[in-house]
Structure 1
Amino acid sequence: MIPAAAVVLAIGALVAAIARAALADDDTSPPSAPTEARASDLTCRTVRLSWAASSDDVGVAFYDIYHDGQHMTAVAGGTLSTVLDVVPGARWGLYVNARDDAGNVSQASATVPIEVPPCQTDTEPPTSPTAVSATAAGTSVTIRWNAASDNLGLAGYEITRNGAPAGSVAGADTTSFVDSGLAPNTRYEYRVLAKDNQDNRSTPSEPAVVTTGAGCATPLCAVTQVATDNDVPWGLVQLPDGSVLYSRRDAGDIVRLDPVTGAKTTVGEIRDAESTDGEGGLMGLAVAPDFAADPWLYVMHTATSDNRVVRVRYTGGALSGDPQVLLSGMPRNKFHNGGRLRFGPDGKLYIASGDGQNGSWAQDLKNLAGKVLRINPDGTIPSDNPFGNAVWSYGHRNPQGLAFDSRGRLWEQEFGNSVTDETNLITRGGNYGWPACEGTTGNCANSVAPKYTYRTTDASCSGIAIVRDALYVACLRGTRLYRATITAQGTLTGMESFLSGTYGRLRTVEPTNDGHLWLSTSTVGDKDSIPGNSNEKLFKVTLGR
């Protein structure tokens, strides 16, 4: 027989659970951000992350641990310390979010930077690559070599052109590199160095000498640096008069760039833009096709409590008047804010909204997180939106690239967590699977399949642009620019990689008025929200075929 006291305790526990569930159903308040995040016991394989408890009106159910926007693990709400697996030699930023039973997610803790030591000290450099050759095709050169060897394992190769860095490739098995945008009828000397996981470098290979042809015969013909900036250029638009406006994410202001002279002028700031100690801030820009007659500049930015889209007049070379809030209530967090804007051929404004580090929101049609959104230029909801609100498609993790092809189809670029990134063709009301499905991995049966997937190590791409039905994809972690042809059937063919490692992390790519590309880097200080601690470049890319 069960003791009466045990029965009473069991009933009490059941009643308490029912009460908590009832409270959770009505709970819309997130927990407070965890505090006092700290790392200890760091080895080459593990680290302990600890933090002080969050508070919540109902109770913290879980803590989610991330590094640099990638989810690592979740622990129960009563746990305030956990041991994490790490990668030897990695440089990560760790942080933690609190989550309650209703699925409300807190803002993130402060970031804890770690530098993981190697498991074995290595001072022996790799052997030099051999049989280096260089072949020109117009103003593009392909360099090939035989693999080097290393006592512990190769990390990749670095390529020099006339003694200066030309680019790099990762992995021991990649033994070729394409150098594009070179001068015609010019002699170049290439050497290749092997690198191991502890940054030991081989001696340079023997040189391979080649002379380029008389003209460009490849998709990418020239890359010309137009300007530099000490903040992170994020959104970028070219105006009808040829000038360029770009947002500085951490500084919160907008700059006018004369692409002919390189002269820059600050045209105004968005006063309500706030950082997130990560990747939020002043993000996407867009102008409507009738900008010359009705000069509104559309801006997506992080505010104190949310992400929002505003518009502000741009007259006389400056922002004028107070911004009008068109759409608010998109959840914000340290990472996963989305941020890209694009006007469609239908005259509507399309918005890439991240999941705010809460995957369940991506499937909630009443929540604006993890979506591609669509609004009228004045902020009203179009009557033909599929769900009666701003949602156009859902099930997205952290979409950032948006672009339309010549047939009016919307393409989207999306960050995966740790498996695959994806390029999607967006359909009205489509479910793209997150969080159950990442790329083509997981429970993807009821979601729209991506048109192309990439390993996260080769991609982590932010911006896309379409010029003459060729898709260009700017990648951060992958440090390259992808190009593919869009077919009439809505597929991608002939995927190629350019500028691999040449300029570092690439953030934004946009079409120029004359049918080429603007391209910007995001190499330093792009995860800390500190204004003015970057070292970035803006380029014009001249396209060929």
Structure 2
Amino acid sequence: MPHPVRSPLPPTTRRRRHLRRALTALTAAVASVASVASVALVVTAVPTAVAAAVATAAPAAAPAAPTAATANVPVVGVASGKCLDVSGASTSPGARIIIWPCSGHSNQAFTATAAGELRTLGGTRCLDVAGSSTTRGAVVQSSTCSGGANQKFDLRTGTTGAATGATVVVGRQSGLCLDVTGASTASGAFVETWSCNNQGNQAWRTTLSADTQPPSAPTSPRVGGLTCRTVTFAWNAATDTVGVTAYDVYHDGQLMTSVGGSTLSTSLTVVPGATWGLYVNARDAAGNVSQASATVTIAPPQCQVDTTAPSVPTGLRGTASGTTVTLTWTASSDDVGVRTYDVYRGGSRVGTVTGSGATPPVTTFVDSGLAPSTTYAYSVTAADATGNVSARSASVGVTTGAACASAVCGVAQVATDTDIPWGLVTLPDGSVLYGRRDARTLVRLDPATGGKTTVGTVPNVSGTDGEGGLMGLAVAPTFGSDPWLYVMHTSPTDNRIVRYRLTGTGTGLRLDTATGQVLVSGILRNKYHDGGRLRFGPDGKLYASTGDAQNPDSAQNVAGLNGKVLRLNPDGSVPSDNPFGSYVWSYGHRNPQGLAFDSQGRLWEQEFGNSVMDETNLIVRGGNYGWPACEGTVGTCGTTGYIAPKRTYPTSEGSCSGIAVVREALYVACARGARMYRAVISGDSLTSVQTYFAGTYGRLRTVEPAPGGLWLTTTNLGDKDSTADNSDERILRVTLGP
């Protein structure tokens, strides 16, 4: 039923507001003329240091002018014939939303973003439900855009009553409709939220629709003026149907800075001696993000000439516990600073302990999975950031015990590959099936012999010149009678989940591409942040991790598929008990990859952070894990509704991808950290965390349960491009202790 009518504004107040609108319109017109008159004088400044690079690149194109017909359009009430209006054209947060005779001014012009916002006043303010209220009668106002759930709306087409064929605006947080108070048609009547009833005061005529078209990728990325601490990065403008509003500059998937849409170069702070891949994405006002530019590799020099090696490590000593050896030594000294220690067993390097520019490396190392009753000789060298290496320390001999008494008892190399082994599953016959990410092929591995046979090539897989391609694999518990292989991969247009039947057995196992079914499509892709892990749960459902595709806002949009953990039936349908009526199971994730279930049927997830910390999460139905407001425990993480991680890791010791649970212990494979973590699951906590293989095998990508242990794969070469067969990787079998 209609609710009571509030009194319209008095005539004097209305006249003052008309005057303010007229002045606003005049100011906007003058600004527009001034902008047009100055176009010929606008030049994007490029520092002298990049002049040579700019000269050899294609001419920079001017940013595209807004042209979309659905941007900055009015929203007209069906019952009143009046426009949705920011009262008094006020730019102050909290200005009320009213209806008013249509004037064409900017306070009556709205743009719908892909994130669900309704922006007005030239895109500077968002429609907002005051106080994040989910109760009827909540005030609707104009406020600073925050990305909050109270600023997200769905545009739906009415199907009954006065709303038939019109637009109904529904708040995502409350499920309530945008409503003119008391069904009033008077100028100045307030707008609020109310139970959806399909009446004329909740029906709107508009051409408004979300801008879902991303900008084109920026072109001709280039650098100049590289020093040990800085570099200037420049690019040519992207184009967009509405207009580019920002550029986001990354190195290797890590956001460095964002600049305005008219800026085509920026100065960056770099790390001496670090090799980075720089690239840039374009972003529009609706939050759509382009595909990334090409990558430019930089290698900043050291800031000073350094030819002096660190001193030789001293005091090396070791102790054995079963088949595990723990080494300690006295730190080396250096005129600049020790960056790494390399640990040698006999003549072979078996580990690397790494520090940062600010923190020296620790002076301890654990060597696991050794043979029982065997004496090993160890030595250590120190290196600085320039690459000067000390002589080896004095050798120390350590004899292992008669039997394994630790969690990790042995490691054996079963196979190598010239591509990145990414997804990996154990089949019922004990053989292993793994995917080669960039080569896009599937391989069957016989663990007993190390023999490999090609099973097939997955169709329509595309690289991203980053970390996309052939990613997660899964088989259902019913595989023996229903041999479907589930695959997550990047296509030329999106990320998707597909399935194919496998035929034959043993070395005759083959992928039947004619049986292919696309289960989920439309998951946004980008150079990095593509997620990609698949895992069947004890409930028989398939779970998938999806990255934010370098569009952080997508992680909080429950209407989208990115920055999520998804849950689907094996046939691709949506389970009836999913929390949002879609595939979305949890949200607020940056780039989740690892998925694993414990014996209680609980889902654990491993997630890449940006530059501060990675996180391990315990996933719950409908849970919000905070990205982009939170990175681990950093940011506005105290906000009600955000679920905190169970453990965090500094990115220098993490960048972890795959996880597995074996006998109530969680194993985590880390790339940049070049190590495997083991943590005991105790209640809903992770305790007794231990580190294994720190630097022994380099970057680790995938860890999966194996009979009696784990499968572990490396990702050392070519894992940041889409070039096939430019790697030298290992597939390891880890034997676990009692």
Fold equivalence (TM over 0.5): yes
In 1, are the aligned partners of 2:248 and 2:282 still within 8 Å (CA)?
yes
Q: Quick one: which of 482, 492, 497 aligns to 1:304?
A: 492
Which residue is equivalent to 2:719?
526
Which residue is equivalent to 1:467?
662
The structure carrying a bigger strand percent of its residues is: 1
Flag the 1:498–1:5 CA change in 2: closer, same or farther, 3 A.
closer
Task: Give the Å deviation of 1:210.
Answer: 1.1
In 2, are the aligned partners of 1:404 and 1:410 still within 8 Å (CA)?
yes
Which residue is equivalent to 2:267?
83
**2:585 is the alignment partner of 1:392:** yes
**2:493 is the alignment partner of 1:404:** no
SS of 2:553's partner is helix
Flag the 1:405–1:268 CA change in 2: closer, same or farther, 3 A.
same
C-alpha distance in 2, partners of 1:17/1:179? Answer: 67
Flag the 1:32–1:21 CA change in 2: closer, same or farther, 3 A.
farther
In 2, are the aligned partners of 1:44 and 1:87 still within 8 Å (CA)?
yes
C-alpha distance in 1, partners of 2:210/2:551? Answer: 18
Which residue is equivalent to 1:267?
455
Which residue is equivalent to 2:674?
479
Task: Output the aligned Cα RMSD.
Answer: 1.8
Task: Give the Å deviation of 1:21.
Answer: 4.7
Task: Give the Å deviation of 1:273.
Answer: 0.6
Which residue is equivalent to 2:384?
196
Task: Give the Å deviation of 1:481.
Answer: 0.4
Flag the 1:69–1:17 CA change in 2: closer, same or farther, 3 A.
farther
Task: Give the Å deviation of 1:16.
Answer: 8.5
After superposition, residues 88-487 of structure 1 pair within 5 angstroms as 88-171=272-355, 172-316=360-504, 317-320=509-512, 321-445=514-638, 446=640, 447-487=642-682
Letter paired with 1:105: V
Stretches of structure 2 lacking an aligned partner (at least 5 in a row): 1-22, 36-88, 90-103, 114-208
Q: Quick one: which of 38, 46, 53 aligns to 2:222?
A: 38
When normalised by structure 2's length, the TM-score is 0.72
C-alpha distance in 2, partners of 1:295/1:7? Answer: 65
Letter paired with 1:348: K
C-alpha distance in 1, partners of 2:319/2:404? Answer: 14
Instruction: Point out the more displaced range, 166-175 or 109-118.
Output: 166-175
SS of 1:159's partner is strand
Task: Give the Å deviation of 1:86.
Answer: 0.6
Q: Quick one: which of 474, 491, 497 aligns to 2:691?
A: 497
Q: Work out the percentage of aligned pairs sharing the same amino acid.
A: 62
In 1, are the aligned partners of 2:700 and 2:715 still within 8 Å (CA)?
yes
Looking at both structures, which has the greater relative contact order when contacts are Cα pairs under 8 Å and sequence separation is at least 6?
Answer: 1
C-alpha distance in 2, partners of 1:98/1:5? Answer: 32
Task: Give the Å deviation of 1:484.
Answer: 0.5
In 2, are the aligned partners of 1:467 and 1:515 still within 8 Å (CA)?
no
Letter paired with 1:484: A
Stretches of structure 1 lacking an aligned partner (at least 5 in a row): none
Letter paired with 1:212: T
List per-residue Cα deviations over 1:195-238 (Å, max 9, x = no partner).
11111111111111111111111111100000000000000000
Which residue is equivalent to 2:704?
510
When normalised by structure 1's length, the TM-score is 0.97
Flag the 1:162–1:20 CA change in 2: closer, same or farther, 3 A.
farther
Task: Give the Å deviation of 1:39.
Answer: 1.0
SS of 1:360's partner is helix
List per-residue Cα deviations over 1:381-424 (Å, max 9, x = no partner).
00000000000000000000000000000000000000000000
SS of 1:22's partner is strand
Task: Give the Å deviation of 1:19.
Answer: 8.8
C-alpha distance in 1, partners of 2:106/2:520? Answer: 37
Q: Number of paired residues?
A: 543
C-alpha distance in 2, partners of 1:269/1:436? Answer: 40
Letter paired with 2:698: G
Letter paired with 2:488: M
In 1, are the aligned partners of 2:353 and 2:361 still within 8 Å (CA)?
no
